[in-house]
Amino acid sequence: MFNEKGKKLKTAGPSTPVLVLGLSGAPQAGEKFRETENEQDARQIAAKRAQIEREQFNRASKRISLDEIGRRLALGTFKELNLIVKGDVDGSIEALTDSLIKLSVETIAVRVIHKAVGQISESDVLLASASDAIIIGFQVRPSSNARQLAEKRRGTDQDLFYHLRSHR
């Protein structure tokens, strides 16, 4: 640990600027440092922290997919299916929404939390992600930004977008 003039330091108080060698990235504000006897112990602690952080991120970012819906149905723990419906014209959206809501049964309620005309946008993906919903697009496609965001949020967009086409 070195000060701004390059002099080696043993301690650094609050708001003291220091240069710390050996970090792979910038620490979070308020993160605590631990001194270790050797580099091997420090690397083990860092690896454990990184693993815990990855596991927490994966748990927090796990969203509902068709496989997860099937698993929950089999266990009897799935009670509600949230949908976002996007379409090319208002009449199609209304008809599709009414049909989907009629699919509700005693054990599973189908809820349309948002319906609109137009391309599937980033805000639709964010809403779906926040509410564990699935986006149904009727004669519309997601924007490239929405597709990229969906891939970041879920790892793949296949469980987020379902494209329906009319048979004209």
Strands 133-138 and 109-117: unpaired
Residues 56 and 138 in one domain: no
110, 118 contact by CB (below 8 A): no
Residues 43 and 78 in one domain: no
CATH at residue 119: 3.40.50.10050
Residues 150 and 109 in one domain: yes
Confidence at residue 142, expressed as pLDDT on a 0 to 100 scale: 87
Mean pLDDT (10-residue bins), the chain, 168 residues: 88 85 72 78 83 70 62 76 90 90 85 93 87 86 84 57 47
Domain boundary, last residue among 31, 46, 61: 61
Residues 78 and 151 in one domain: yes
Residues 15 and 81 in one domain: no
Residues 75 and 147 in one domain: yes
Residues 48 and 73 in one domain: no
**Residues of the domain holding 143:** 66-164
Q: Which residues of 82-114 are buried (b: 16+ CB within 10 A; e: fewer)?
A: bbbbbbeeeebbeebbeebeeeeeeeeebebeb
Nearest to 82 by CA among 107, 120, 114, 106: 114
Please list, in sequence order, all residues whose beta carbon lies within 8 angstroms of the beta carbon of residue 70, skipping any fewer than 6 positions away. none
Confidence at residue 154, expressed as pLDDT on a 0 to 100 scale: 61
Domain boundary, last residue among 20, 41, 61: 61
**Sequential DSSP letters for 112-163:** EEEEEES-B-HHHHHHHHHHTEEEEEES--B-HHHHHHHHHHHS-STTTEEE
Domain boundary, last residue among 34, 61, 88: 61
Confidence at residue 129, expressed as pLDDT on a 0 to 100 scale: 80
Residues 23 and 41 in one domain: yes
Residues 47 and 87 in one domain: no
